[in-house]
A and B are shown apart, each in its own frame.
Chain A
Amino acid sequence: MSTLLSENLTFECETGNYHTFCPISCVAWLYQKIEDSFFLVVGTKTCGYFLQNALGVMIFAEPRYAMAELEEGDISAQLNDYKELKRLCLQIKQDRNPSVIIWIGTCTTEIIKMDLEGMAPRLEAEIGIPIVVARANGLDYAFTQGEDTVLAAMAHRCPTYESKSSTSKILKTAHPPLVLFGSLPSTVATQLTMELKRQGITVSGWLPSQRYTDLPDLGDGVYVCGVNPFLSRTATTLMRRRKCKLIGAPFPIGPDGTRAWIEKICGVFQLQPVGLEEREGIIWKGLEDYLELVRGKSVFFMGDNLLEVSLARFLIRCGMIVYEIGIPYMDKRFQAGEISLLEKTCRDMNVPMPRIVEKPDNYNQIQRIRELQPDLAITGMAHANPLEARGISTKWSVEFTFAQIHGFTNSRDILELVTRPLRRNQSLQGLGWTKLVKTI
């Protein structure tokens, strides 16, 4: 497998000087997903300022997250961490009464070696609320990997599945229980659950569930499958610590990905997929007006949220040419299914294999973008306006994280995002002001 890969796709690694969101941003979508949770980010003003600016107006809707802002006394250990955290958690308990408090460790808690994992069980016993610790810091992780650390920590809290016990929350099904992991808006989760139901597969639970108190049972004999490419730690934890069996599949992004994902799951349960090919065909037909816009156009992924490989694979199937797939971190094992589907797609569509650049260097990438002049650069907000001013169309990569992009039903939403700059360009065509910087 690996020799085959190196012959085809090229993997490179640059300096890691790239722009991405800090992984603590995962609280933004996770606190909305897990309705009875409270996220406490233990960090400094820098973290707080980031959350406040990145999450914009969400901050004003009485959010179930807050900063435990470290002050000089905390750093120099003049104050007792345990007592301080206890005081804040009791206040949270009084004001919000959550079912779980999730502590997000940051760079600062790493550097001063604050023992969050050690303090949590003691405090948990004392105040009577579960405390989950996730180290989602910028020293180790990028953007969406924050969710990965939270889910990995949460996997330890799931009840244990026992195949013989009748009290198990997991429904008795014709096949072994299947738990899906990855946080999706509940409508999207319903859609994917329904897709599997059509194939006679019952989803026994989701990690995370809508409420902390409804976490799924895990254990020997439970099959798990990921829905997002950035969940490698969670996958490892589920396999090694909870003894679950991992179904390695491409991710259900785009109709091609969704079909491959369902087929893989069916295959594991030895079921013959029914009507998938037709269904995929119908979805593709529905996309035709957008496909006309994107065919033959080129894309450059600068890389910041780990969805890049799946999105590139889908866009190649749509008829686009991908020059470069920048990605913060590439887990070749967890993404193996996705990588081989990408290769197959390139061969099917008869386009050159893109280069995959791990830990990219934004400065070098911008030089390459200047040379290649792609029709579309998928990039972070720091570079979008400057690139637009230089006549390169861009799409903010963050939108792919917040938009609904999974399953057959939402394929159109991905293309809606990808084609937006192209459609905008069409409507502004002929005005003659595409390059808006002074050339010196």
Chain B
Amino acid sequence: MKLAYWMYAGPAHIGTLRVASSFKNVHAIMHAPLGDDYFNVMRSMLERERDFTPVTASIVDRHVLARGSQEKVVENITRKDKEERPDLIVLTPTCTSSILQEDLQNFVNRASMESVSDVILADVNHYRVNELQAADRTLEQVVRFYIEKAKKQNKLDTSKTEKPSANIIGIFTLGFHNQHDSRELKRLLKDLGIQVNEVIPEGGLVTNLKNLPKAWFNVIPYREVGLMTANFLEKEFNMPYVDITPMGIVDTAAFIREISEILKQSCNDIENKVIDIDQQSVLNTGKKDISAFNFENYIDQQTRFVSQAAWFSRSIDCQNLTGKKTVVFGDATHAASMTKILAREMGIRVSCAGTYCKHDADWFREQVQGFCDEVLITDDHTQVGDMIARIEPAAIFGTQMERHIGKRLDIPCGVISAPVHIQNFPLGYRPFLGYEGTNQIADLVYNSFTLGMEDHLLEIFGGHDTKEVITKSLSTDSGLTWAPDGLAELNKIPGFVRGKIKRNTEKFARENNVSEITVEIMYAAKEAAGA
């Protein structure tokens, strides 16, 4: 048992549900007790989703405990099949069903005979994996299922698109700024003359998954979700993938260069193949392409003039940040990228970089090596809090949890990673990836520190004006007295409305010629306030 107040990554089924509900026309059914469908609230509130979240529960109650689910799960699946006609129904186990050890696969087999939809059982174990690992696994499972299905039906077309194309894998619901990142990635690929073949799972159709092999390569923007799928596609179809996160100027350039290599390589392959079948025309296009796959000019233009971040790092503003201490904490992708940006691109000192993705600790250490003083791998927020208190950085870049730690210690914090609150689902365009992403990050970093000049002036003049605010009331002596019981009751009222209630009560007392305010008067005032 573990005493816990807060967790960074959610339970496994959340990951499965995030993947399932990101696809269009896929329905997830949780095998769970009443109240576990909390995911719907998160999606509806955080993402401000207009549509009903395609997740329902097959409720586990006392009867199920006594007799087993029996027909219930099968009925719920076939019912949903008739009501919504989804392409796929994903039966999702939870911590409860993990212990019940019912043969869910058997329910799935039976239900799939009766329903038009495809039905699969998400293969995740609550006690072994967390939200992110489960999402990674579920995405691979769904892709594998539809590739196998297409193979069986002989509908799998592995011929490549004529023009270079890519799949973007790992964009999904409740992901940190995923929608904006997706748009930015598409724009970046378009600039490079690369078509986007499929984006999964967000907004994709499972019936289109058989088209995945048509792309020349895969893009995995986030470390946490998509790598399993990319590995599967590589093994199965020899599809290369790019797993560099294009976050920050240096890594975005590295990402583009990697793509360039892949394209050149694929062209050579095609060329060789084409010679075999002797199709001169395709050979010509292939040859022409190779020179088009040199993106150095593009990188240079974007870096120096489109993105403002390279210029920012040379500007006087950024000079003031030199050597300031920071702490970075988040998921592996964002924490690693952020550490590199701060240290390499802005000259800021990262005293500690950390991640809660314990399952990916080795990769993280390797990434941040040389860019920070120490590395912290933990999913215990009190350890992170203690570390921050010890280091006393000038700014923190972390999750919502670190933002709250920062508030308590009076240290500013920029949020760079999930877990997140509703304010991290902005309506405006805020990617973290690509060249526009570098601008956003520069703003975030700069605004998180106390502005340079302001800081300087405060130091010279000994801080803010220290004259204390003595009274919060604008009126002079009111001639009213508060009876002890009234005063005691007033003090029970939460601080932020107390002043208003005090004023309203006194106004009421004056109007009614009452000189002593008791509890009764207080509530009489409240009752009268509405009229």
B2 proximal to A (CB < 8 A): yes
Q: Which of B13, B42, B56, B59 contacts A363 (CB 8 A)?
A: B56
- 8 A Cβ contacts from B44-58 to A: 44-45, 48-53, 56-57
| Chain A 99-134 per-residue mask, 1 if CB under 8 angstroms from chain B, else 0 | 000000001101110000000000000000000000
The residue in chain B whose Cβ has the minimal distance to the Cβ of A289 is: B530
List A contacts of B7 (CB < 8 A). 45, 48-49, 52
Minimum CB–CB distance for B255 against chain A, Å: 33
- Of the candidate stretches A269-277, A279-287, A338-346, A425-433, the one touching chain B is A279-287
Minimum CB–CB distance for B131 against chain A, Å: 8
List A contacts of B6 (CB < 8 A). 48, 52, 59
Known: A107-B96, A381-B41. Is A49-B531 also a contact (CB below 8 A)? no
B526 proximal to A (CB < 8 A): yes
Interface pair A45/B95, CB less than 8 Å apart: yes
- 8 A Cβ contacts from B32-48 to A: 32-38, 40-42, 44-45, 48
7 residue pairs bridging A and B, Cβ less than 8 Å apart: A16-B59, A22-B33, A22-B36, A67-B3, A288-B531, A366-B52, A385-B44
Known: A45-B10, A187-B489, A437-B50. Is A54-B1 also a contact (CB below 8 A)? no
A349 proximal to B (CB < 8 A): no
B330 proximal to A (CB < 8 A): no
A399 proximal to B (CB < 8 A): no
A212 proximal to B (CB < 8 A): no
List B contacts of A60 (CB < 8 A). 404, 407-408
List A contacts of B34 (CB < 8 A). 16, 18, 20, 22, 138-139, 141-142
- 8 A Cβ contacts from A373-430 to B: 380-386, 389, 408-409, 412
Known: A286-B530, A386-B50, A386-B52. Is A50-B38 also a contact (CB below 8 A)? yes
A13 proximal to B (CB < 8 A): no
List B contacts of A372 (CB < 8 A). none
- 8 A Cβ contacts from B83-136 to A: 83, 94-96, 98-100, 126-128, 130
Top-5 shortest CB links A-B: A22-B35, A138-B33, A382-B40, A389-B50, A286-B531
Minimum CB–CB distance for B406 against chain A, Å: 11
A186 proximal to B (CB < 8 A): yes
Interface pair B492/A436, CB less than 8 Å apart: no
Minimum CB–CB distance for B376 against chain A, Å: 20
18 more contacts with CB within 8 A, not counting A92-B3, A409-B526, are A17-B76, A48-B6, A49-B14, A54-B41, A59-B6, A66-B4, A107-B60, A137-B33, A143-B35, A187-B492, A194-B519, A194-B520, A290-B530, A385-B49, A386-B49, A386-B50, A436-B50, A437-B50
- Of the candidate stretches A4-12, A70-78, A224-232, the one touching chain B is A70-78
Interface residues on A, range: 35 or more
A3 proximal to B (CB < 8 A): no
| Chain B 1-31 per-residue mask, 1 if CB under 8 angstroms from chain A, else 0 | 1111111001101100000000000000000
Q: Which of A16, A24, A72, A287 contacts B61 (CB 8 A)?
A: A16
Interface pair A53/B527, CB less than 8 Å apart: no
B277 proximal to A (CB < 8 A): no
Q: Specify which of B11, B52, B61, B529 lies most central, judged by the most chain A CB atoms within 10 Å of its CB.
A: B52
- 8 A Cβ contacts from A120-163 to B: 137-143
Could you tell me the dominant secondary structure of chain B's interface residues?
Answer: mixed
Q: Which of A21, A139, A283, A380 contacts B527 (CB 8 A)?
A: A283
Interface residues on B, range: 35 or more
Minimum CB–CB distance for B86 against chain A, Å: 14
Interface pair A383/B13, CB less than 8 Å apart: no
List A contacts of B45 (CB < 8 A). 381, 385
B152 proximal to A (CB < 8 A): no
The residue in chain A whose Cβ has the minimal distance to the Cβ of B100 is: A111
The residue in chain B whose Cβ has the minimal distance to the Cβ of A83 is: B1
List B contacts of A22 (CB < 8 A). 33-36, 38
List A contacts of B100 (CB < 8 A). 111
B523 proximal to A (CB < 8 A): yes
The residue in chain A whose Cβ has the minimal distance to the Cβ of B488 is: A190
Give Cα A424–Cα B332 distance, bound, in whole angstroms: 43
B65 proximal to A (CB < 8 A): yes
Minimum CB–CB distance for B418 against chain A, Å: 12
Minimum CB–CB distance for B259 against chain A, Å: 34
A434 proximal to B (CB < 8 A): no
Interface pair B4/A69, CB less than 8 Å apart: yes
The residue in chain B whose Cβ has the minimal distance to the Cβ of A23 is: B35
The residue in chain B whose Cβ has the minimal distance to the Cβ of A389 is: B50
Q: Which of B13, B38, B50, B95 contacts A54 (CB 8 A)?
A: B38
B528 proximal to A (CB < 8 A): yes
Minimum CB–CB distance for B141 against chain A, Å: 21
Interface pair A389/B61, CB less than 8 Å apart: no
Q: Specify which of B1, B40, B65 lies most central, judged by the most chain A CB atoms within 10 Å of its CB.
A: B1
Interface pair A49/B10, CB less than 8 Å apart: yes
A236 proximal to B (CB < 8 A): no
Interface pair B11/A287, CB less than 8 Å apart: no
The residue in chain A whose Cβ has the minimal distance to the Cβ of B407 is: A60
B467 proximal to A (CB < 8 A): no
Interface pair A72/B492, CB less than 8 Å apart: no
Q: Specify which of B6, B32, B126 lies most central, judged by the most chain A CB atoms within 10 Å of its CB.
A: B6
List A contacts of B409 (CB < 8 A). none
List A contacts of B529 (CB < 8 A). 412
Interface pair A386/B33, CB less than 8 Å apart: no
List A contacts of B60 (CB < 8 A). 107, 139
List B contacts of A142 (CB < 8 A). 34-35
Interface pair B404/A412, CB less than 8 Å apart: no
Give Cα A112–Cα B101 distance, bound, in whole angstroms: 12
The residue in chain B whose Cβ has the minimal distance to the Cβ of A364 is: B83
List A contacts of B531 (CB < 8 A). 285-286, 288
Give Cα A142–Cα B1 distance, bound, in whole angstroms: 26
List A contacts of B128 (CB < 8 A). 72
Interface pair A111/B96, CB less than 8 Å apart: yes
B483 proximal to A (CB < 8 A): no
